[in-house]
A = this chain, B = another copy of it.
Amino acid sequence: MSLEKVKAVFFDLSGVLYIGTQAMDGAVKTIDRLRAEGYILRFVTNTSSHSYQMVKNQLNTLGFDFKTEELFTAPQAAKLYIQRRNLRPFCIIHDNLKPEFADIDQSNPNCVLLADAQNNLNYQNLNQAFIMIEQGFPLIGMGKNKYYKDAESFKLDVGSFIHALEWASGTQATIVGKPDAQFFQTVVDTTGLKNDECLMIGDDVLGDVQGAINAGLQGCLVKTGKFKADDLNRLPKQAYVIDIINQLPDLLAQFKATR
């Protein structure tokens, strides 16, 4: 695979375009330049501690040029997944997300839905989830990220709690969001392009880069956000690497020039 084919770029958000309330150096201009050069752009996040509207507000506040239909979130995908199957989830989700799931029937639950619920990831809720899984109800996770980095510190992400429940129960969760290939495919399908014409760029080796490559996309790791030197040892050999998002337009331009 080569970047010269790329006609669409999928951006992970936190740790890539911004961290906390601070845009990455040159990130806004990167979006503007790629858009001007004709790239199709998508914004693809597993963030489940913020609602769809909060993510949009964040991008707007920081001055990013994007359209609502270009933004894909794991909670949005999870909601669709649940609605299509008429599931009634026991929701362990962040208070920020509760309004977005308020119109989902959560009575007499028949599945467990786990998100980056932070303080709602308490022992009582996790134990209730475990008991339901032991009774045979499926576990659905919004992404499987191990951790992320916000303005304050590293933070445990939902993936670590999913992994604990999988290990305890000997079952496997259904992951909705990155790195689920179906989630990537949904985004690719909105572009009208082939999978390998789409490049996913993110700071998570497994969720963003390995996940995209497994789904037939191209992948690029950016060394900001949660990046740790050790990540390079786990990176698939087909992956590209840049130091910061503002290096992406030149990297793509180089490949086009050598075409």
Q: How far is the CB of A143 from chain B (nearest CB, A)?
A: 14
Number of interface residues of A (CB under 8 A): 30
Q: Is the CB of A146 within 8 A of B168?
A: yes
Contact with B along A117-135 (1 / 0, CB 8 A): 1111111101100110010
Q: Which residues of B contact A103 (CB under 8 A)?
A: none
Q: A132 CA to B231 CA in the complex, in Å?
A: 19
Which of B118, B119, B131, B167 is A160 in contact with, Cβ under 8 Å? B167
Q: How far is the CB of A46 from chain B (nearest CB, A)?
A: 15
Q: A154 CA to B126 CA in the complex, in Å?
A: 12
- Identify 15 residue pairs between A and B in the complex whose beta-carbon atoms are under 8 Å apart, listed by A's number: A117-B123, A121-B126, A122-B123, A127-B155, A127-B156, A130-B147, A130-B155, A146-B167, A146-B168, A156-B164, A156-B168, A159-B168, A163-B164, A163-B167, A164-B167
A228 nearest CB neighbor, chain B only: B134
Which of A130, A156, A157, A163: most chain B Cβ within 10 A?
Answer: A156
| Interface of A (DSSP majority class) | helix
Q: Is the CB of B121 within 8 A of A134?
A: no
Q: A123 CA to B157 CA in the complex, in Å?
A: 10
Contact with B along A73-114 (1 / 0, CB 8 A): 000000000000000000000000000000000000000000
A residues in contact (CB < 8 Å) with B: 117-124, 126-127, 130-131, 134, 146-147, 153-157, 159-161, 163-165, 167-168, 170, 230
Q: A168 CA to B167 CA in the complex, in Å?
A: 13
Q: Which residues of B contact A119 (CB under 8 A)?
A: 122-124
Q: A125 CA to B170 CA in the complex, in Å?
A: 25
Q: Is the CB of B155 within 8 A of A160?
A: no
Q: Is the CB of A154 within 8 A of B167?
A: no
Known: A122-B123, A134-B154. 12 other contacts (CB 8 A): A117-B123, A121-B122, A123-B156, A130-B156, A131-B153, A131-B154, A159-B168, A160-B164, A160-B168, A161-B164, A163-B164, A163-B167
Q: How far is the CB of A109 from chain B (nearest CB, A)?
A: 16
Q: How far is the CB of A173 from chain B (nearest CB, A)?
A: 13
